[in-house]
Amino acid sequence: MTSIEFDDVTHAFTDRPVLRGVTLELAEHRIGIIGANGSGKSTLARMMNGLVSPDSGTVTVNGLNVAKNKRKVRRQVGFIFSDPDRQIIMPTVREDIELSLTRVTKDKRQRRERALATLADFGLADHADQPSHTLSGGQKQLLALASIMVIGPSILIADEPTTMLDLRNANMLRDVLGGLDEQLVVLTHHLDLLADYDRVLVLDDGRVVADDEPAPAIAYYRSLMS
């Protein structure tokens, strides 16, 4: 069982407060975070793997203070963004997965075997030797996800993972994310994505203003935006 805890976390960029005393314990399997542009969602998410550190308060992941244990935490917390091109590094699809696997095994043959098995798991088996930049947007996002999951994180944070995808690919990614056993935290403006999640938080101006099941949390957000 994984857990992410925020204890009275504040943060400001230059002088502008972005998070204002956030206290949370996130232990559910699938959690959504919604809120207006600039409400602080990405900042909150980036604190979960040490990309941003709090000005005051603490963030703890599986019992580890993130600010003091960034390396250990990053092995446990995977992160995907809207734009998979930010995460795809190698010329071919298989090589990209193999690069991630250098963190897991030194054995080249094992890396190749595991890369091919992972590509099959993520529906990319037929694309193993394709140049990564020629994949469709949906396939690129699957590759970015596969490259993260192959390292074996216990938590996945997805920051607007469907923003660049058409409806078919967004639905496909929703299903792939929904099938993961790992704890999942998704930030999104695609509210439908969260319909069967366990918990949805609404952020507004750096504060958690609703924390509920998806339907009431989304209804609250809609009322806030109207």
Ligand X SMILES: Nc1ncnc2c1ncn2[C@@H]1O[C@H](COP(=O)(O)OP(=O)(O)OP(=O)(O)O)[C@@H](O)[C@H]1O
Binding site for ligand X (CB under 6 A): 13, 18, 35, 37-43
Q: Closer to ligand X by CB, 13 or 219: give it.
A: 13
Nearer to ligand X, 1 or 37 (CB): 37
**Rounded CA separation 175/110 (Å):** 28
Q: Which is nearer to ligand X, 79 or 122 (CB)?
A: 79
Minimum separation from the CB atom of position 97 to ligand X (A): 28
- State the Cα–Cα distance between residues 76 and 113, nearest whole angstrom: 23
Query: 């204002």: which residue's tokens?
Result: 20
Q: How far is the CB of 122 from ligand X (least distance, A)?
A: 26
Amino acid at 91: P
Tell me the residue type at 67. Answer: A
- Residue 157 near residue 77, CB atoms below 8 Å: yes
Based on CB atoms, which residue is closest to ligand X, 35 or 54? 35
Q: Shortest Cβ distance from residue 38 to ligand X (Å)?
A: 4
Task: Using the Cα atoms of residue 157, residue 163, residue 165 and residue 170 in order, give the sign of their dihedral.
Answer: positive
What's the min distance (Å) between Cβ of 197 and ligand X? 18
d(CA 100, CA 151): 7
Q: How far is the CB of 200 from ligand X (least distance, A)?
A: 14
Q: Are 169 and 120 in contact, with CB atoms under 8 Å apart? A: no
Closer by beta carbon to ligand X, 40 or else 214: 40
Contact 36, 220 (CB under 8 A): no
Of the pair 4, 119, the CB lying nearest ligand X is at 4
Q: How many CB atoms lie within 10 A of CB 16?
A: 9
- Work out how close the CB of 49 gets to ligand X at its nearest, in angstroms, rounded to a whole number: 14
